């Protein structure tokens, strides 16, 4: 049966949300109307563009590029710091509103939702529902959304990406050729800049070129990935809107250090701090991890990682940190480090292997300690308590200032 799928996408989410939040707090300047960008702290080496206003875009400023470059392109561009607390808040409010329309709804990212309206139309047309959502969001929150309407998720997502902002587009089967095939292949979901040169070599410039190729030629050139993008180009996608909160496959935290670290003890301190964050989030979800993974990025942006499977899945900060510390020692070659990260994998809801009696005692003690710390964090905020040895990342040695 033909499905009715909606993809709701917040226009310029971080910038719009920052703008709306400022206006709500009495500011009169709407940063959507000036050359503006949202970015991180350059002094902390987190200076990348996370969002740009339409005018900033006209200057050629791109998401993900250094703020330094953005200023070169447009010296008068104004930068505003990101505030994820505000973003999550608006994201939740939007989600609540969309839940009024269907139970089959999937949060695809902080600013995107898929809605399966197939059994929730109640005699209305998908387009009319989209119109109502679009209008209500605008009036209630002050930001706008694009909505794509199609018979599957891929086409709905492609549709919401057409003309912006504040627009509703359909992309039904009979519109694929006229609306999607004419687009450059780089516009297709999952086609990134690494596969572009390879596609170009195959004389594939548009999504239509890709769609008209033989499927087997793409599989030959790209393997499984080739099959996926060939199907996408042809508008084929049978995936379901996932409306039950799915368990994550991995959880991790990483930090770009305020300056390059060449000292393993300093790296260990940061590692402890991010391990605490990760294990806290793991316990929040009531999950256990079987694999610990440590990543490093050098000052030259070379990334390396080291991981090991544990005998028993755990969520203990101590156990995971001890393992992470060993992995770091084995991985670290003494070169200046820009970023350190930890990730836990192989997540389950149980300690998969029974603990031996020998382990149980000390484990219980650690579990209690973790539980106490978590409770305090829940009550007074995440940063109120840290184990001894946590580094203050604001602290930069004088010589490097």
Give the residues lining the site for DNA (CB under 7 A).
40, 42-43, 45-48, 50, 63-64, 66, 68-69, 108-112, 189-196, 223-225, 248-256, 277, 281, 291, 293, 300-301, 303-309, 338-339, 341, 343
In the bound state with DNA, the residue whose beta carbon lies nearer, of 66 and 142, is: 66
- Of 38, 94, 42, whose CA–CA distance to 68 is shortest? 42
In the bound state with DNA, the residue whose beta carbon lies nearer, of 3 and 343, is: 343
SS (H, E, C) 227-251: HHHHHHHCCCCCCCCCCCCCCCCCE
Q: How far apart are CA 29 and CA 261, in angstroms?
A: 41
Strand, helix or coil for residue 80:
strand
Closest separation in Å from C-beta 240 to DNA? 13
In the bound state with DNA, the residue whose beta carbon lies nearer, of 63 and 144, is: 63
Task: Answer for the pair 114, 154: CB distance below 8 angstroms, yes or no.
Answer: no
Q: Tell me phi and psi for residue 273, to 5 degrees.
A: -60, -45
Sign of the C-alpha dihedral computed for residues 209, 211, 215 and 218 taken in this order? positive
Beta bridge partners of 222: none
In the bound state with DNA, the residue whose beta carbon lies nearer, of 45 and 73, is: 45
Task: Answer for the pair 12, 161: CB distance below 8 angstroms, yes or no.
Answer: no
How do 303-314 and 288-298 pair as beta strands?
antiparallel
Closest separation in Å from C-beta 199 to DNA? 9
- Of 311, 384, 295, 392, whose CA–CA distance to 352 is shortest? 311
Cis amide prior to 165 (ω within 30 degrees)? yes
Closest separation in Å from C-beta 177 to DNA? 21
Q: How far apart are CA 375 and CA 53, in angstroms?
A: 40
Strand, helix or coil for residue 55:
helix
112 included as an active-site residue: yes
Place of tokens 């368990």: 247
In the bound state with DNA, the residue whose beta carbon lies nearer, of 301 and 358, is: 301
Closest separation in Å from C-beta 191 to DNA? 5
Catalytic residue among 65, 106, 112, 173: 112
In the bound state with DNA, the residue whose beta carbon lies nearer, of 181 and 280, is: 280
Q: Which residues are designated catalytic?
A: 112
């Amino acid at each position: 049966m033909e499905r009715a799928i909606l993809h709701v996408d917040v226009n310029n989410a971080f910038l719009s949300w920052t703008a709306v939040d400022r206006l709500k707090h009495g500011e009169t300047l709407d940063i959507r109307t000036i050359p503006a960008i949202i970015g991180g702290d350059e002094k902390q080496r987190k200076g990348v563009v996370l969002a740009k206003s339409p005018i900033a875009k006209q200057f050629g400023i791109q998401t993900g590029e250094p703020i330094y470059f953005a200023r070169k392109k447009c010296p008068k561009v104004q930068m505003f710091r990101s505030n994820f607390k505000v973003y999550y808040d608006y994201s939740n409010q939007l989600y609540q509103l969309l839940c009024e329309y269907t139970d089959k709804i999937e949060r695809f990212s902080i600013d995107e939702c898929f809605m399966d309206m197939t059994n929730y139309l109640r005699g209305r047309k998908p387009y009319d529902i989209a119109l109502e959502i679009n209008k209500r969001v605008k009036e209630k929150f002050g930001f706008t959304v694009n909505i794509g309407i199609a018979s599957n998720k891929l086409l709905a997502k492609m549709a919401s990406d057409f003309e912006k902002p504040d627009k509703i587009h359909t992309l039904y089967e009979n519109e694929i050729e006229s609306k999607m095939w004419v687009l450059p292949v780089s516009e297709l979901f999952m086609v990134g800049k690494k596969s572009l040169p390879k596609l170009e070599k195959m004389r594939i410039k548009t999504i239509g070129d890709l769609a008209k190729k033989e499927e087997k030629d793409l599989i030959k050139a790209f393997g499984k990935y080739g099959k996926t993008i060939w199907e996408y180009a042809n508008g084929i996608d049978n995936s379901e809107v996932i409306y039950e909160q799915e368990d994550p496959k991995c959880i991790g935290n990483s930090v770009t250090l305020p300056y390059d670290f060449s000292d393993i003890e300093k790296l260990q301190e940061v590692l402890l701090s991010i391990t605490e964050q990760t294990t806290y989030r793991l316990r929040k979800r009531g999950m256990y991890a079987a694999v610990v993974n440590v990543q490093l990025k050098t000052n030259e942006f070379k990334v390396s990682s080291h991981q090991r499977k544990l005998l028993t899945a755990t969520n203990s900060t101590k156990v995971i940190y001890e393992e992470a510390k060993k992995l770091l020692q084995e991985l670290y070659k003494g070169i200046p480090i820009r970023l350190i990260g930890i990730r836990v994998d192989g997540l389950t809801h149980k300690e998969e292997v029974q603990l031996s009696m020998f382990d149980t005692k000390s484990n219980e003690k650690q579990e209690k300690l973790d539980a106490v710390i978590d409770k305090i964090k829940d009550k007074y905020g995440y940063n109120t308590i840290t184990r001894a040895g946590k580094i203050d990342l604001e602290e930069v040695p004088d010589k490097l200032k």
